[in-house]
């Protein structure tokens, strides 16, 4: 059926998980998110993380200054939790709309997480406060221990950290970010979506670990949580194709300089802002589920965050769209996801 669809009109989407970085990278990448999305949740894991209100305010204004094309774009800021975070800071940040949420990175789980949390019990007073004021907790859900296999970290996190946490704080609003496994899909589907939802990236929907390792190892597909087996990819695709309210768009666009991707230690992260929305369209089309595209891209996120659904619409048409090959940053470059490839959907009349 959907192969006959040539035009889709949906409420303007939001991206609920974005890394914009800072300085020249910020100035060069922000327009790609601004083109496709009205609002974006901005991750706080800068080299110098956003750990308090004044850093949040300053970073937000740097983002707005870098956005020339789309003055409607709204960055929604998040606070990076450390074992020094005090509840009062979050209360002030949330009630004054400086922060929309706070982010929990397990210690050494991903890019810039060396000041992440070692023991979740260090956050008890912070989580009590967040539960009381209704401030969402965004989680990088991987259990970090040298004896836990990297492919099992997400499932182990649910068992060892998330499930006990939810029993202790049943009214805490939680987003399990960038889920990658069938265990996460199953666990989340059982929950009340007002209290536990999840974002899903385009790359985890489109790819599995074979794509990364077969025919040569591709560092540009290295991200965290790492790409999983095909059966997990299928579970994610099925989850979104049913229009389930628990799941919404969070691209995890995460730019890194080429020299840091192609290095003895490659940085984790995929810069997908130029292609993310049109990649999701491709997946929904393949799943014959375009009728659920709008709920995933534009409705389920705002419902979880108790925010209005965008009123303006975008029109997506069946027309080839070539993804840019690279972005120049000083003497270096950033290569986007699907660099130079052609997708068969475009935004109408714009690019
Ligand atoms: C992200 C980054 O580079 O900041 N990397 C990634 O692989 N996803 C951090 C994160 O979300 O884990
Ligand atoms: Zn991320």
Task: Map out the domains of the chain as residue ranges.
Answer: 12-312
| Separation between Cα atoms, residue 262 and residue 222, nearest integer Å | 11
**Structure tokens belonging to residue 280:** 């999701």
- Per DSSP, the chain holds a count of helices (H) and strands (E) of 14, 13
Binding residues for Zn(2+): 17, 19, 103, 140, 178, 252
Give the residue among 61, 70, 63, 76 at the shortest CA–CA distance from 17.
76
Cα angle, residue 200 at apex, residues 195 and 95 outer, rounded to 5°: 45
What contacts 153, CB < 8 A, 6 or more positions away? 142, 143, 144, 225
Check if the beta carbon of residue 123 is closer than 8 Å to that of residue 81.
Answer: yes
- Catalytic status, residue 252: yes
**Structure tokens belonging to residue 149:** 């296999």
What is the structure's pLDDT at 262?
A: 96
Write the pLDDT tens digit of every residue in 160-195.
Answer: 999 999 999 999 999 999 999 999 999 999 999 999
What is the structure's pLDDT at 3?
A: 66
Q: Whose CA is nearest to atom 4 of ligand 1?
A: 111
Give the residue among 91, 104, 89 at the shortest CA–CA distance from 174.
104
What is the structure's pLDDT at 72?
A: 86
Give the residue among 150, 207, 148, 157 at the shortest CA–CA distance from 177.
157
pLDDT tens, the chain, 351 aa long: 566 889 999 999 999 999 999 999 999 999 999 999 999 999 999 999 999 999 999 999 999 999 876 568 999 999 999 999 999 999 999 999 999 999 999 999 998 999 999 999 999 999 999 999 999 999 999 999 999 999 999 999 999 999 999 999 999 999 999 999 999 999 999 999 999 999 999 999 999 999 999 999 999 999 999 999 999 999 999 999 999 999 999 999 999 999 999 999 999 999 999 999 999 999 999 999 999 999 999 999 999 999 999 999 999 999 999 999 999 999 999 999 999 999 999 999 654
What is the structure's pLDDT at 68?
A: 75
Q: Hey, what CATH topology would domain 12-312 get?
A: TIM Barrel (3.20.20)
CA 245 to chain centre: 16
| Separation between Cα atoms, residue 71 and residue 38, nearest integer Å | 10
Check if the beta carbon of residue 277 is closer than 8 Å to that of residue 321.
Answer: no
Give the CA diameter of the chain. Answer: 55
Give CA separation, 282 vs 110, 181, 275, 293, 300, in Å. 28, 21, 10, 10, 19
- Phi/psi of residue 200, nearest 5 degrees: -135, 135
- The alpha carbon of 223 and the centre of ligand 1 are apart by a number of angstroms equal to 6
Write the pLDDT tens digit of every residue in 304-314.
Answer: 999 999 999 99
Mean pLDDT value across the chain: 96
Pocket test for ligand 1, best of 106, 112, 222, 224 (most atoms within 8 A of CB): 224
Where would I find the H helices in the chain? 23-36, 53-66, 87-95, 124-133, 153-157, 163-168, 182-189, 202-206, 209-213, 230-241, 258-261, 276-286, 293-294, 300-305
What is the structure's pLDDT at 315?
A: 97
CB atoms within 10 A of CB 164: 11
Check if the beta carbon of residue 283 is closer than 8 Å to that of residue 306.
Answer: no
Please tell me if the CB atom of residue 252 comes closer than 6 angstroms to any atom of ligand 1.
yes
CB atoms within 10 A of CB 307: 14
Pocket test for ligand 1, best of 41, 110, 260 (most atoms within 8 A of CB): 110
Three-state DSSP state, 15: strand
What contacts 12, CB < 8 A, 6 or more positions away? 37, 38, 298, 310, 312, 313, 314
Q: Is the dihedral of CA 68, 71, 73, 76 positive or negative?
A: positive
């Amino acid at each position: 059926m959907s192969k006959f669809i040539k035009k889709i009109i949906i409420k303007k989407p939001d991206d609920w998980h974005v890394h914009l970085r800072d300085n020249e990278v910020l100035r060069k990448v922000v327009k790609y998110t601004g083109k496709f999305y009205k609002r974006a949740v901005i991750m706080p894991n800068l080299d110098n993380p956003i750990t308090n209100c004044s850093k949040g305010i300053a970073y937000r204004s740097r983002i707005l200054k870098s956005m020339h094309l789309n003055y409607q774009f709204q960055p929604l800021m998040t606070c990076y939790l450390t074992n020094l975070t005090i509840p009062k800071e979050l209360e002030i940040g949330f009630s004054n709309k400086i922060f929309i949420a706070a982010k929990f990175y397990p210690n050494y789980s991903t890019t810039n997480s060396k000041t992440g949390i070692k023991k979740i019990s260090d956050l008890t007073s912070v989580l009590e406060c967040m539960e009381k004021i209704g401030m969402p907790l965004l989680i990088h859900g991987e259990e970090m221990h040298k004896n836990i296999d990297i492919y099992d970290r997400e499932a182990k996190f649910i068992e060892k950290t998330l499930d006990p946490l939810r029993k202790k704080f049943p009214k805490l609003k939680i987003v399990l970010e960038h889920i990658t496994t069938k265990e996460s899909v199953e666990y989340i589907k059982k929950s009340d979506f007002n209290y536990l939802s999840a974002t899903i990236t385009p790359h985890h929907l489109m790819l599995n670990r074979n794509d990364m390792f077969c025919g040569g190892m591709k560092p540009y597909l290295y991200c965290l949580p790492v790409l999983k087996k095909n059966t997990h990819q299928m579970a994610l695709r099925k989850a979104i194709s049913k229009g389930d309210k628990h799941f919404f768009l969070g691209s995890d666009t995460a730019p890194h300089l080429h020299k840091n991707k192609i290095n003895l230690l490659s940085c984790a992260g995929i810069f997908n802002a130029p292609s993310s929305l049109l990649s999701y369209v491709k997946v929904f089309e393949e799943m014959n589920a375009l009728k659920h595209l709008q709920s995933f891209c534009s409705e389920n996120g705002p419902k979880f965050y108790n925010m209005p659904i965008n009123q303006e619409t975008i029109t997506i048409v069946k027309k080839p769209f070539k993804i840019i090959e690279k972005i120049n940053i000083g003497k270096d470059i950033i290569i986007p996801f699907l660099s130079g490839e052609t997708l068969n959907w475009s935004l109408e009349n714009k690019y």
